[in-house]
Amino acid sequence: MLHLPKWLPLLIALAACSRSSSDAPKDEVVYVKSGDATMAAAIAKAQASLESFRAVLAAPPAGTKSFSVKVGFPWGLKDDREHIWLTEPKLEATTVTGTINNDPVDVTSLKLGQVVTAPLKDVSDWMYVENGVLRGGYTLRVLLDKMSPETRQKMLSEMGFRLD
């Protein structure tokens, strides 16, 4: 199970949609435009390295914990996705199964604690903590980089891991 502050999954949730950031609920979800090049690169990096995550998940080394994947679930218009972290992930040949780790905002058919299965192609990120250091978490890193230095440091301190 992912052991992070309860508010963290909501803060780091990513909804790539057509809403403007002024329409986003305050302090709950970070909305990023679907054309954001930095976020697209982070998602591509997560997809490209998914097999390395699979290997670690299959045989976790000592000192690893908090395995999680982020999946983009469709809602609304054609390209709208709410990206939600799943804990206790199980990767199969073409799917991922896990437990929803935050209250979805836009995908009203999903609930906190629900076990879901999604296509691997919809995975937008993965992460785990190894000896206190975040591994993966590419979209999280993008969001942290957009914060002020003070807010970023506070977040990292509260999350209980550091970046490599």
Regarding beta strands 162-163 and 133-136, do their DSSP bridges make them parallel or antiparallel, or are they unpaired?
Answer: parallel
What is the per-residue pLDDT for 35?
Answer: 78
The burial class, CB within 10 Å (0-12 / 13-18 / 19+), for 124 is buried
* Environment class of 125 (CB within 10 Å of its CB; exposed 0-12, middle 13-18, buried 19+): buried
C-alpha count within 13 angstroms, C-beta hemisphere, residue 77? 8
| 81 neighbors 73 (Cβ within 8 angstroms) | yes
This prediction's pTM: 0.80
**Amino acid 160: pLDDT:** 84
Our measurement of the distance from residue 12's CA atom to the centroid of its chain's CA atoms, rounded to an integer in Å, reads 7
At residue 39, the pLDDT reads 93
* pLDDT, position 70: 97
Tens place of pLDDT per residue across the chain (164 aa): 333 333 344 344 433 333 333 333 333 466 777 678 999 999 999 999 999 999 999 999 999 999 999 999 988 776 788 999 999 999 999 999 999 998 899 898 999 999 999 999 999 999 999 999 999 999 999 999 988 899 988 888 888 888 98
